[in-house]
Amino acid sequence: MTIEEKREYIKRAFRDYVNNKRRLEMLNIPGLGGVDYSRPSVVSDHSNGTEKTVLRYIDKKDILEKQVEIIKKTIEHYKIEDRKNGNGGKVQYIVNRWIRLGGYRYSAYKSNISNRTALYWTHEIFYTAEIIAEEYKLFP
């Protein structure tokens, strides 16, 4: 992957975090219609619309898990950093911005920082997430 592709992958992972997490939770429902979808070699004629959807998400499951893991590890990193520095700013900003899906101005207001600082933190958080993804081999 090029640097630009990695950055886009990280941005997409943050933007789609809530939806990706929800999709993964939906896939883990045991006994989904009596068919074991956990096996990677499911053969189907794709006549059922629900089955098509489930099979499409099974194909994407590894990517979704990696994207969710990037965000979780980034939040863990900033929880440790915030504890060291004695403030809870960046974790609160991440939660307001990408988990509660607020805009950067709203998230900056809730985190008690300026808009300019919020934009700077966004770039810093993406950069840190990229380093974490490289370290844990979470890029596809």
Amino acid making up residue 125: I
pLDDT in tens, the chain (140 residues): 899 999 999 999 999 999 988 888 876 554 555 555 555 555 556 566 777 777 776 777 888 889 999 999 999 999 999 888 877 789 999 999 999 989 989 999 998 999 999 999 999 999 999 999 999 998 88
CA distance 116 to 50: 45
Q: Which residue do the tokens 């074991």 mark?
A: 36
In a 3-state reduction of DSSP, which class is residue 75? helix
Q: CA separation (Å) from 51 to 25, 27, 45, 79, 132?
A: 16, 12, 9, 39, 35
Amino acid making up residue 20: N
Q: CA separation (Å) from 56 to 8, 41, 42, 52, 62?
A: 22, 13, 11, 6, 12
CA 57-49-17 angle, 5° bins: 30
Check residue 46 and give its pLDDT: 59
Q: Which residue do the tokens 């979704």 mark?
A: 64
Check residue 1 and give its pLDDT: 82
Q: Residue 129: is it exposed, middle or buried by C-beta count within 10 angstroms (0-12/13-18/19+)?
A: buried
